Structure 1
Amino acid sequence: MVLEINELTGGYSKEPVIHDISFKIEPGEIIGLIGLNGAGKSTTIKHILGLLRPHKGNVKVMDQTIENDVEAYRRHMGYIPEAPILYEELTLREHINMTAMAYGLTPEQVDQRKGPLLKRFRLEDKEDTFPSHFSKGMKQKVMLICAFIVEPELYIIDEPFLGLDPLGIESLIELMISERDKNRSILMSTHILATAERYCDRYIIIDQGRKIADGTLDELRTATGLHEGSLDDVYIQLTGGNSHEQ
């Protein structure tokens, strides 16, 4: 099991934001984490990353808990936040090298892996460029390169398509599918349901801090009776008519 969440309750204060959330991710799955802004998606992700302490329940990544070994737990994950977080005084090359040091990659591994990633995101001539010269989309691509160069068992991606141009979106989708084919797993939070419908294997829907559905699109269609429905249709039915565009 790549990720296992058991009855997770937690939040930022004594008052919980998420309640009794449980789900699992197997090797080689792309999972869409779906919900309104404020539904609890980011809170769930922060608990998986170990940035918040659960009120109740636990999280395991590759059968490791953060309480047992923080470093071993986090080395199994690569994280791409919604907003790029870069160091203005470091070039793209230095961001890659810093990530490699944090995850214990050898120089040979870095040289082997970075070329295809730089080419995929059209940054092969930008290695010595500082973030101040990057657009928001280019900064997002730097975050993606730094995460995917690690090749962890689990990628956690928060709203990955924000700021990316259409070519960047297609490049990311192709890369995620390639990683899935190598038996790695991806948990992705997104509002863009039409895109998620194209390639996610399964969907976890959170509403008002609780998991209300977990399954493939066909399973969710059966549960809602919308046998020809889109992911948008299914989502609206499950959440009682709320639109995800809030």
Structure 2
Amino acid sequence: MNPLLEVEQLTGGYSRQKPVLHDISFTVHPGEMIGLIGLNGAGKSTTIKHILGLMKPHSGTVRLSGIQLEDNAGAYRRTYAYVPETPLLYEELTVKEHLEMAAMAYGLSPTDFEGRAPQLLEQFQMTAYANRLSAHLSKGMKQKVMIMSAFLVQPSLYIIDEPFLGLDPLGIRSLLELMASVKRSGAAILISSHILSTIERYGDRYVVLHNGRLKAYGDVDALRLQAKLPGGSLDDVFCTLVTQDGGHP
């Protein structure tokens, strides 16, 4: 099966004189969840920005369904939906209007919208707030709007950055159930999170970044082998990997 996302020898950052990322390579295939993990400053957000097309690589390539951004920007961007760590909403739009805007941006039919939106609102306990302006929502509610907008349009790839921050326990459960569901349907998920115990239960493979470089890549067993921690949790394995060779986190 061809990869949905290909990151190949990616070097990039804000300055060519001082790149943040150095020769990063990994793939994401349909139907799998990849955890992008690393300490603060490891390069996770910079990697995501390159995938989103917000930053141009210094060298290397990023492809979605075999397409580079410069080949067909519209087709490239329709492949994914992005849930940022900090929710970004229009204060004068209601919850439902944000969902309608996402549907229009991705060309979702009115029939599909009417079939999916009420279900998502109920799943995230947001039905009663459908007509509330986003300016009057809590941070957790705003995060739910971002998540619902992404899952409404059902892209091939979900790029999700620290989604659990601010969510209540029911919201976290709803998100995890949705991620498991879209994986079964053949969609792919790239998720960045510090809550390793949670993504260990749902992830297939992991990209471990450290100081802008690929420290480890593979499933939990492959990471355990590299860390020399047979049977270790992802949390323990990660901490060992980023402190190996006497280095500092």
Shorter chain as denominator, the TM-score bin is over 0.9
Give unpaired runs (5+ residues) of structure 1. Answer: none
Q: Which residue of 2 aligns with 1:2?
A: 4
Map of 2:13 onto structure 1? 11
Give the equivalent residue in structure 2 for 1:223.
226
2:57 corresponds to which of 54, 57, 66: 54
The CA deviation string for residues 30-62 of structure 1, in whole angstroms up to 9 with x for no partner, is 111000110000000000000001000010001
Q: Distance in 2 between matches of 1:98 and 1:42?
A: 25
Specify the SS of the correspondent of 2:167: coil
2:173 to 170, 173, 195: 170
Give secondary structure in 2 for the equivalent of 1:214.
strand
1:177-209 CA-partner distances (Å, limit 9, x unpaired): 000000100000001111111111111100000
Aligned twin of 2:241: 238
The residue type paired with residue 9 of structure 1 is T
Q: 1:136 aligns with which of 122, 134, 139?
A: 139
- In 1, the alpha carbon distance for the partners of 2:193 and 2:82 equals 14
Unpaired runs of at least 5, structure 2: none
Where do residues 95-244 of structure 1 align in structure 2 (5 Å cutoff)?
95-240=98-243
Shift of 1:222: 2.0
Cα deviation for residue 223 of structure 1 reads 2.2
User: Could you tell me the TM-score, scaled by structure 1's length?
Assistant: 0.96
Displaced runs of 4 or more, over 4 A: none
Q: For residue 171 of structure 1, give the secondary structure of its aligned residue in structure 2.
A: helix
Give me the identity figure in percent: 56
TM-score by length of 2: 0.95
2:79 corresponds to 1:76:
yes
Secondary structure at the residue paired with 2:149?
helix
Q: CA deviation at 1:241?
A: 5.8
Secondary structure of the corresponding residue to residue 104 of structure 1? coil
- Render the CA deviation track for 1:113-143: whole Å, top value 9, x for unaligned: 1122111101112211101221110000000
Aligned residue identity for 1:26? H
Number of aligned residues: 243
Secondary structure, aligned partner of 1:170 = helix
User: What RMSD in Å do the two structures reach over aligned CA positions?
Assistant: 1.2
Q: Secondary structure at the match of 1:149?
A: helix
